[in-house]
Amino acid sequence: MSMRRIVGPEILDGLAADDPAARRSRRDLRRVHRAMGTRTILRRALHRTTASIPDNRPLRVLELGAGDGNLMLGVAHALAPAWPRVELTLLDRQALVSLEMIENYARLGWNVVEQVADALEWAASATDSLPNGNEPARWDLIVANLFLHHFEGTQLALLLNSITARSNGFFACEPRRNWISLAGSHLAGLIGAGAVTREDAVLSVHAGFRDKELTTLWPAVHDEWRIHEYSAGLFSHCLHAERVGRP
Ligand SMILES: C[S@@+](CC[C@H](N)C(=O)[O-])C[C@H]1O[C@@H](n2cnc3c(N)ncnc32)[C@H](O)[C@@H]1O
């Protein structure tokens, strides 16, 4: 019997950035990512996009719902030799990126811009431009981790539409919606997760994805994009999309 997708508000999203319970839950996320193997999944997927790196300017990468930027930093360490110049925008509706985090990226040659914004407003704004210039808002790559599953219906469609209109590549790593992930989410306490994370982990699995659900929702003309939707590790579900011909 397959699980129906249920999207509900997560507790972390209703807490202020400086709420101790929110701080605890964001620290828990690091353990959750270790248990899910997210960094390895991301690193492997992003390595495959190496061919499309521009040689005359930095690679422009946007992470939606980036949180404090810690997950991507681990990936940046692995990618930096192949991706030495990156302009990375970390977008989240809460201001969570510390100066220390920005400096850690800078040591790798990655220039980080924090964008505090609601991703739905970002998606709806047709006039969005790069934070540090007047160039049109196009990204070589947009990334989302544990983020898309917050959305459904017209909101999810709006996000995917905007992503396809503004990028040449997209990678999402989300919770896999199946019984194994659900069982795993109920065991989040075993890795030391607090109450907020224990509850959100279960909600996230119910809101997660499976099979070709994201491919079905992908709004662009399919032969303009190479799309690979797959299960990764024990608990993750990924979508990797690359524009085949450059616009
Ligand atoms: C589960 S956390 C994942 C954080 C990070 N991507 C990671 O994997 O560690 C989801 C993040 O999405 C952000 N978020 C949720 N809804 C958002 C929205 N509408 N616009 C921007 N950020 C949002 C939250 O603030 C939170 O930082």
> From edge to edge, which strands make up the β-sheet containing 141-145?
110-116, 86-92, 59-64, 141-145, 169-175, 236-243, 225-232
Reading the chain (247 residues) residue by residue, the pLDDT tens digits are 679 999 999 999 999 999 999 999 999 999 999 999 999 999 999 988 755 677 788 999 999 999 999 999 999 999 999 888 999 999 999 999 999 999 999 999 999 999 999 999 999 985 555 555 555 468 999 999 999 999 999 999 999 999 999 999 999 999 999 999 999 999 999 999 999 999 999 999 999 999 999 999 998 776 789 999 999 999 999 999 999 866 5
* Number of C-beta neighbours around residue 188 at 10 A: 21
Domains of the chain: 29-243 (3.40.50.150)
Predicted pLDDT of residue 41: 97
The reply to whether ligand 1 has any atom less than 6 angstroms from the CB of 239 is no
Index of the ligand 1 atom closest to the CA of residue 119? 20
Index of the ligand 1 atom closest to the CA of residue 63? 6
- Alpha-carbon Rg for the chain, nearest whole angstrom, is 17
Cα of 55 vs centre of ligand 1, distance in Å, is: 31
The reply to whether ligand 1 has any atom less than 6 angstroms from the CB of 119 is yes
Predicted pLDDT of residue 47: 86
The reply to whether ligand 1 has any atom less than 6 angstroms from the CB of 65 is yes
The reply to whether ligand 1 has any atom less than 6 angstroms from the CB of 28 is no
Structure tokens at 109: 């040659």
Q: How far apart are CA 216 and CA 222, in angstroms?
A: 10
